[in-house]
Amino acid sequence: MAGQSQALSVPAGARPRSATVAADDSYWRYFAFIVAAAFLIRLVCFTGLIGSDDLEYSHYAQRIAQFNYKPELSQFALRYGVIIPVGIVYKLLGIAEWTTVLVPLLASTASVAMLMLVGRKLFGPPAALFAGCLLATFPAELRYATILVPEPVAGAVVLAGVLAYVYWGAGRPVWAGFVSGVCIGAAYLTKEPTLFVAPALMIDALARREWRLLSGIAAGLLLIVGLEHTYYLAVTGDLMFRPHAMVEHNQSSYMFKVNQHLGWRLFRVYPEMMLLPTTSFGLHSLFAIGFNVPGFFLLTREKWRLPLLWAMLPWIYLNFGTSSLTRYWVLPAADRYLLFIYPPLFLLSAVVLIHLHSARRSTAPLLTIAFLVVVGGGIYCGFVNRGRGWHTDAVKELRIIARVAKSRNLHTVVVEEGDSHVWGSTLAILDHDLRQLNDPQAADLVVRPDASGLPSISAFRP
């Protein structure tokens, strides 16, 4: 079979049963090792709080944990795939930095496992393991796995939908499609562009003439969208509450600036981001794209159709789409927005790598070295990027302040001047028992910016 090694081309029935069992055991051992390594690498590359969007998501998750959540005209308030799981974690385990990042950490690790399961079903065990290694060491994934942002969670839910599609599609098409549709709908409630994975699955099902699978996907999607808008109608009286929230968001000055540089945004930002090696993408992106090109010639259409659609349709929307139904507002660009399109690219590149390895044994050492450089470089980039950017310098100081407050048994704090909202919200997560006041004379602890603009303790009660 194209895209698999020669050993895999032998029919299963032609092998001794003991050899098949041994091969399966070996696969699952490698599978477990890669998943465990992915989890540990993410811990080593830990970032935690960044004092940015994560504070907004945490705010609404806390409201859910306290059972006083109401929809607001904010995109952060409507990312239910993030704020509901984090709210549940807060309710069960309490509010802290580690509980804030637990959901994206587990989701990112689970994505590695699910990608290998999808790859095993579509292309065989070797391709699955190679793709798992690429996702396990992808620098952008390592960076955002311990930050409370929607992309790692959305990527995991998308993979769950694709997994249901490829595993159950043949035997239980209606249910497989329905579960896939529900998962893509849930991913949409986490990060809106993931909705464009649904057309990829539908086109693939249509090409295979799997009408029941196609109808199941549509039914699952309609269920989620219907429940969401019914909820909005019941609670806010506005059936189109989410689109109206996006209009509110699009009126920001940032969106206006993005539209002012439209040509640069549409034709340079993402291509440069994906093709030029940086610490955000390492060599992974260039490797995946470079090895995808020969895939069109080495693999049959049935092999590359689903992964290609899965990656390309969302990318086209991310790059050229609009976030408004009434005017063209191009979406802002960021490296994390692309996270969920890379798993299918890693799958195809892994298949091509194995195909080239089998077809030309003389290239095996070179291909092995190239793969190890990509994987090793990804771990290095992830380690270098840990705890950098946004307000992480301030967060480092606030961690020290929170530890001081706990060690001295201080219970109240006032944050004056500086970025008081960010600092106060961050402290509320780092030490949820530290009550924030407005009167410095009544507080145990006063935090003000130092000469460098970072938070520092200016006064405290002994």
Q: Tens of pLDDT along 299-344?
A: 888 889 999 999 999 999 999 998 777 778 888 899 999 999 999 9
The reported pLDDT for the residue numbered 351 is 95
DSSP string covering 285-315, please?
Answer: HHHHHHHHTTHHHHS-HHHHHHHHHHHHHHH
Phi, psi of 439 (to 5 degrees): -100, 110
Does the pTM surpass 0.75? The reply is yes
Residues 348 and 401 in one domain: no
Last residue of a domain, one of 352, 385, 418: 385
Mark whether 343 and 416 lie in a shared domain.
no
Say whether both 47 and 179 belong to one domain: yes
- For residue 186, name the pLDDT band (cuts at 50, 70, 90): very high
Question: Looking at residue 458, what is its pLDDT?
Answer: 82
pLDDT at 184 over 70: yes
- Please state the rounded mean pLDDT for residues 223-245: 93
Domain boundary among 385, 414, 438: 385
DSSP H stretches of helix in 299-363: 301-320, 342-359
pLDDT surpassing 90 at residue 181: yes
Return the exposure string of 167-176: e unless at least 16 CB atoms fall within 10 Å of the residue's CB, then b: bbbeebbbbb
Map 443-459 to HEC letters.
CCEEEEECCCCCEEEEE
252 is a domain residue: yes
Same domain, 251 and 139: yes
For residue 39, tell me if it sits in a domain.
Answer: yes
Q: Which residue has the tokens 């955002």?
A: 144
Residue 240 lies in a domain: yes
Give the pLDDT confidence of 30-50 residue by residue, as tens digits. Answer: 999 999 999 999 999 999 999
Q: Tell me the residue range of the domain where 92 lies.
A: 6-385
Q: How confident is the model at residue 364 (pLDDT cuts 50, 70, 90)?
A: confident
Show the CA angle centred on residue 107, arms to residues 369 and 376, nearest 5°.
15
Residue-wise pLDDT tens digits, 392-404: 999 999 999 999 9
Q: How confident is the model at residue 2 (pLDDT cuts 50, 70, 90)?
A: very low
Give Cα 388 to chain centroid, integer Å.
18
Amino acid in position 392: T
Contacts of 290 (CB under 8 A, 6+ apart): 349
Do 148 and 207 lie in one domain? The reply is yes
Q: Is residue 328 part of a domain?
A: yes
- The answer on 201 and 292 residing in a single domain is yes
Amino acid at 393: D
**Are residues 107 and 15 part of one domain?**
yes
Does one domain contain both 31 and 46?
A: yes
Give the number of other CB atoms < 10 A from CB of residue 440.
Answer: 16
pLDDT of residue 295: 85
The 10s digit of each residue's pLDDT in 256-310 is: 566 667 888 899 999 999 999 999 999 999 999 999 988 888 888 888 999 999 9
The answer to whether residues 320 and 414 belong to one domain is no
pLDDT of the residue at 13: 47
Instruction: Identify the domain boundary among 385, 416, 439.
Output: 385
| Position 5 pLDDT exceeds 80 | no
Residues 266 and 328 in one domain: yes
Nearest partner of 52 among 428, 426, 373, 411, judged by Cα: 426
Report the domain count for the chain: 2
Same domain, 247 and 324: yes
Average pLDDT, the chain: 90
pLDDT over 70 percentage in the chain: 92
- Give domain status of residue 276, yes or no: yes
Q: Mean pLDDT lowest for which of 9-13, 56-60, 128-132, 446-450?
A: 9-13
pLDDT at 362: 75
Provide the pairing of β-strand 445-449 with 455-460. Answer: antiparallel
Regarding whether 214 and 125 lie in a shared domain, the answer is yes
What is residue 146's three-state secondary structure?
coil
Share of the chain above pLDDT 90, in %: 73
Q: What is the mean pLDDT of residues 192-220?
A: 96
In a domain, 88, yes or no: yes
Give me the CATH number covering residue 452: 3.30.2300
pLDDT at 385 over 80: yes
Query: pLDDT tens digits for 63-86?
Result: 999 999 999 988 899 999 999 999
Query: 275-284, 347-356, 411-420 — which is least confidently predicted?
Result: 411-420
- State yes or no: pLDDT of 89 exceeds 80: yes
Predicted local confidence at residue 19, as pLDDT: 60
The reply to whether 1 falls in a domain is: no
Closest to 332 in 3D by CA, of 259, 275, 278? 259
**Domain contains 283:** yes
Q: Is the pLDDT of residue 8 over 60?
A: no
Q: Is the pLDDT of residue 55 over 50?
A: yes
**How many contiguous H segments (helices) and E segments (strands) does the chain have?**
21, 4
